[in-house]
Amino acid sequence: MVNTFDSKYRFHNRHTLKVQITIYFEGKKIQVKAMINQISEKVTFTADMWTSINNSAFLSLTIHYTDTNWKLKSFLLDIIPILISVRHTGLNMAEVLINIINEYNLGDRTLGLTTDNAVSMIVCGRIIKDELEKNFNNIRFSHYQCAAYILNLAVQEELQLIDKAVQKVWSLMKCLKSSLPLLSSLKALYDMKNINYLTSELDCTTRWNSIYYILQKFKYLQPALHLLQADERKVQKRYPNQNDMRSIFVIIIIFYN
């Protein structure tokens, strides 16, 4: 279509776009370095390893600091792709993070690193601590394990006692999200019961309070869902029984308090 309007126009190929993106990235990187050089106080980091849908692994590093007005600032400093051929060991992750710390001249100003409590991350923190102490005489660095992550593990462990009830709600919500006919029927029941339309919700295993939100939404939608399960077998076989309901309401009360 564009060629019809202007036959002289030439689309950029992928190589041209790659060069332009690289130039833009390097320019932004210079600005970030200049901004970091203006930080007079200590800085801390949070790091996390995650995997994309296509199984590509990445290590993210976020910097935290206070500005001259004592306001907390933070931004994503880098996302490092981890090759499939490279094992996700504490040593390999530590080498990557130390290279970034050195690149931005933060070796003597790095105060702490917060991660989850995976064994590889614990090893990573120990290696970084040794390197900063040896190369920068930085003896104040500490590695912290994320309190929210630890709390999530504790909650997930306790939820195993009533896992059956939670799994039923999760299965029901997943079924509703993947079926347009069921969602249409449910929306009609919303109107009948004068309930505001809300989409079904799934929990996130790394967020301890997401269980509360999915169960809370289930309780809110229960009048409409109860009617829906009377006519829909898919919903009926996933619908919690009376014992499950008691467990669900206990969880909601515990989380709310």
Q: What is the pLDDT of residue 149?
A: 73
Domain boundaries, the chain: 39-145, 152-256
Domain 39-145 - what CATH class? alpha beta
Q: What is the pLDDT of residues 57-66, one digit of tens each?
A: 899 999 999 9
Per-residue pLDDT for 22 more than 80? yes
Say whether pLDDT at 197 is over 70.
Answer: no
pLDDT at 74 over 60: yes
Mean pLDDT is lowest, of 55-59, 119-123, 138-142, 208-212, for 208-212
Across 80-84, 104-108, 237-241, 248-252, least confident range: 248-252
Which of 86-100, 162-176, 182-196, 213-227 has the highest average model confidence (pLDDT)? 86-100
For residue 27, what pLDDT is reported?
A: 92
Query: Is the confidence at residue 205, as pLDDT, over 60?
Result: no
pLDDT in tens, 116-134: 888 899 999 999 999 999 9
Residue 29, pLDDT above cutoff 70: yes
pLDDT at residue 103 greater than cutoff 60: yes
Q: Looking at residue 59, what is its pLDDT?
A: 92
Q: Is the pLDDT of residue 206 over 60?
A: no
pLDDT score for 160: 63
DSSP characters over the chain: -HHHH-TT-----HHHHHHHHHHHHHHHHHHHHHHHHT--S-EEEEEEEEE-TTS-EEEEEEEEEE-TT--EEEEEEEEEEE-TTS---HHHHHHHHHHHHHHTT-TTTEEEEEE---HHHHHHHHHHHHHHHHHH-----EEEE-HHHHHHHHHHHHHGGGHHHHHHHHHHHHHHHT-HHHHHHHHHHHHHTT----------TT-TTHHHHHHHHHHHHHHHHHHHHHH-HHHHTTS--HHHHHHHHHHHHHHH-
* Predicted local distance difference test score (pLDDT) of residue 202: 59
The pLDDT value given to residue 126: 95
Q: What is the pLDDT of residues 163-190, one digit of tens each?
A: 677 778 878 888 887 788 887 887 888 7
The yes-or-no verdict on residue 229 having pLDDT over 90 is: no
255 pLDDT above the threshold of 90:
no
